[in-house]
Amino acid sequence: MINITFPDGAIRQYESGTTAMDIAKQISEGLARKVLVAQVDGDVWDASRPINKDASINFLKWEDEKGKETFWHSSAHLMAEAIENIYPGVKFWVGPPLEKGFYYDIDLGENQIGEEDLKKIEGKMSELAKQNNVFVRKEIAKDDAVQYFEKKGDEYKLDLLTNLKDGEITLYTQGNFTDLCRGPHIPTTGFIKGIKLTAIAGAYWKGDEKNKMLTRIYGVTFPSQKELDEYLVFLEEAKKRDHRKLGKELELFTFSEKVGMGLPMWLPKGAMLRERLQNFLKKIQEEYGYLPVITPHIGHKNLYVTSGHYEKYGKDSFQPIKTPQEGEEFFLKPMNCPHHCEIYKSSPRSYKDLPLRLAEFGTVYRYEQHGELHGLTRVRGFTQDDAHLFCMSHQVKEEFKKVIDIVLYVLKALNFTNFTAQISLRDKEDRSKYIGSDENWEIAENSIIEAAAEKGLNTVVEYGEAAFYGPKLDFMVRDAIGRKWQLGTIQVDYNLPERFDLTYIGEDNAKHRPVMIHRAPFGSMERFVAVLTEHCAGKFPLWLTPVQVKILAISEKFQPYAENLLFKLKNADIRAEIDDRNEKIGKKIRDTELAKVPYMLVVGEKEVNEEKISVRKQGHGDLGSQTLEEFIKLINEEVENKQ
């Protein structure tokens, strides 16, 4: 008999060789129907795998991250089975789960698959899923595995096998399909009910463009058709909110191949919006004692030798800028921190100068792979709302609290109400990989935990997620349609102060090392505007939106009255425009709605005679007639309250 420990601490005895699924079935059929995979002594295992010794057990379901991962990875096997069934002789590379769904890279040989074939594959997948085939695990000796795949002529699986040793090789078979895989998988294909193949793309073998181009098919699956349907509605909504689409419609930014891929250009409306965001942040930072600095876009090689970035400049990055001076090299700056360290060093510092908070909207450049570029969220040049706080160890907590205040203020003003704070600390066991003294880490980690608690943040602590140079706190923000974004990072750094030999003279007249904190509430202006655009579906808050008011004259006759309104609104610092196109009023109203302008003023005979305006609000319809003064007051209040 073996002892099985349950998550609640209960211990029960079972026959040796019993499986997680057997145990689940004994507890209830309902549970057994939901168990996708099991955690045995912390390792994720097939629920059908025999347990031969005392162990702790945890059943993982669809709700669990590892449950979903296993579900989607198993779905990749199901897709491969369907494809092999329709196109015999194709070969498979790898089929990992994704954050949402899965893909498989496939060598189709002579076959061609296009978008139009995906339906057919989905159909075959459904058919095979209904067969409710068991995922059978088989341990196999390396020689036997090599023989098997040599016979099959599968150079891809043979390549995978070269890195594997005897004792760690397993084959999984469901139905007529066998794959080399470490597992685990869900119990049977019958769990997979909602199936959608979402995209087809080319992908170089091992991501190397010198290699053969394989076909990558993406898909997503669910335990029920209902969940798939809901997801498809979500996708539709996400498409409508795509910042690349809205950015074009609202004339916020553009890209040009001639300027360079991944290098966004802000159009007037976008630039003004970005400026308002920057001013908003500058204002609060000023209140919190930040000092502005400005640094160049490039830095001498020596700067990056000191900072440690130089080692990381491989051939996959932007290459150095040469000068007429023999051997002289400059680099585009990948971060603002090294420059700020030099500013810190530009003058002797005493404990009385700390904390020193240097802020800069600093533009940095990083070479992202072509395929990784995506609108404003993945670019090659971007501007961080950066600041570096230099302080003493005992000030870390206070500084964190202040940065948290700023981030909360920003999130509130932009209607992000759903978020948690993720605190990333050292690995509990292995501490050799971290630089800086144990004592300092202890102080910093506790400071972050206490600061977050005192600010009432809803926190999640992740051990082992800290950078090698310090612990950090990230705000994980959910947008209006439930997607998770990482915004507002606050990061402690023991590395750069060491590398740059930063010091201050303490009360004891001796030299000490300051602590450095990196922080960026927005992250970068580009990414933040992208996230914000998708969050509010292009309907920016009134204080931020490019055009606050559109004036629509019912006919040309009322144009002078409209011009007069425009003049007065502009004098009151309200961003207004006139729609003076020769169009019907109905069309003007519709177009203004589509342009997501919050307010429109309709003027005609009645308004002119009464010296009033008819106000329409985006999403609220007709607000009735008002005097211009009343309307200006309304707008100013809404802007003031950042509603």
Number of residues interacting with Zn ion: please give it, by CB under 5 A: 3
**Among all residues, whose Cβ is closest to Zn ion?**
181
Which is nearest to 425 in space by CA: 412, 414, 416, 434?
Answer: 434
CB of 413 to Zn ion, least distance (A): 24
Nearer to Zn ion, 20 or 359 (CB): 359
CB of 217 to Zn ion, least distance (A): 16
Nearer to Zn ion, 309 or 518 (CB): 518
Render 298-315 in DSSP notation, one character per residue.
EEEHHHHHHHS-GGG--T
CB of 438 to Zn ion, least distance (A): 24
Q: Return the range that interacts with Zn ion (CB under 5 A); candidates 345-353, 367-375, 459-467, 516-524.
A: 516-524
Nearer to Zn ion, 467 or 578 (CB): 467
Q: Return the range that interacts with Zn ion (CB under 5 A); candidates 58-66, 274-282, 335-343, 446-454.
A: 335-343
Which is nearest to 407 in space by CA: 530, 278, 524, 520?
Answer: 520
Render 327-374 in DSSP notation, one character per residue.
T-EEEE-S-SHHHHHHHHHTS--BGGG-SEEEEEEEEEE----GGG-B
CB of 339 to Zn ion, least distance (A): 10
Q: Return the range that interacts with Zn ion (CB under 5 A); candidates 175-183, 420-428, 450-458, 554-562.
A: 175-183
CB of 337 to Zn ion, least distance (A): 3
Q: Return the range that interacts with Zn ion (CB under 5 A); candidates 173-181, 481-489, 548-556, 565-573.
A: 173-181
User: Residue 443 is inside which H or E element, if any?
Assistant: helix 438-454
Compose the 128-167 pattern: x for residues touching Zn ion by CB under 5 A, - for all others.
Answer: ----------------------------------------
Nearer to Zn ion, 72 or 205 (CB): 72
- The position carrying tokens 């930063």 is 502
Which is nearest to 172 in space by CA: 158, 152, 186?
Answer: 186
The answer to the question of residue 181 lying near Zn ion (CB under 5 A) is: yes
Render 56-105 in DSSP notation, one character per residue.
EEEEE-TTSHHHHHHHHHHHHHHHHHHHHHHSTT-EE----EETTEEEEE
Q: Is the separation of the CB atoms in 92 and 179 below 8 Å?
A: yes
The answer to the question of residue 357 lying near Zn ion (CB under 5 A) is: no
CB of 129 to Zn ion, least distance (A): 16
User: Looking at 161, 273, 277, 337, which residue binds Zn ion (CB under 5 A)?
Assistant: 337
Nearer to Zn ion, 174 or 592 (CB): 174
Helices (H) and strands (E) in the chain, counts: 19, 35
Query: In the range 258-297, which residues lie near Zn ion by CB under 5 A?
Result: none
| Residues 196, 370: Cα–Cα separation, whole Å | 27
Nearer to Zn ion, 364 or 551 (CB): 364
CB of 183 to Zn ion, least distance (A): 6
User: Residue 322 is inside which H or E element, if any?
Assistant: strand 321-322
The answer to the question of residue 79 lying near Zn ion (CB under 5 A) is: no
Q: Is the separation of the CB atoms in 100 and 151 below 8 Å?
A: no
Q: Return the range that interacts with Zn ion (CB under 5 A); candidates 51-59, 228-236, 316-324, 514-522.
A: 514-522
Longest distance between any two alpha carbons in the chain, whole Å: 94
* Cα 420–chain centre separation: 14
Q: Return the range that interacts with Zn ion (CB under 5 A); candidates 38-46, 307-315, 331-339, 565-573.
A: 331-339
Q: Is the separation of the CB atoms in 366 and 380 below 8 Å?
A: yes
Nearer to Zn ion, 82 or 337 (CB): 337
Nearer to Zn ion, 184 or 375 (CB): 184
User: Looking at 91, 518, 588, 612, which residue binds Zn ion (CB under 5 A)?
Assistant: 518
Give me the active site residues, please: 337, 366, 384, 386, 388, 472, 518
CB of 251 to Zn ion, least distance (A): 32
Long-range contacts of the stretch 61-69 (C-beta < 8 A, 24+): 61/34, 61/35, 61/36, 62/34, 62/36, 62/223, 64/36, 66/37, 66/39, 67/36, 67/37, 68/97, 69/97
* Strand pairing report for 291-292 and 356-365: parallel
List interacting residues with Zn ion (CB under 5 A): 181, 337, 518
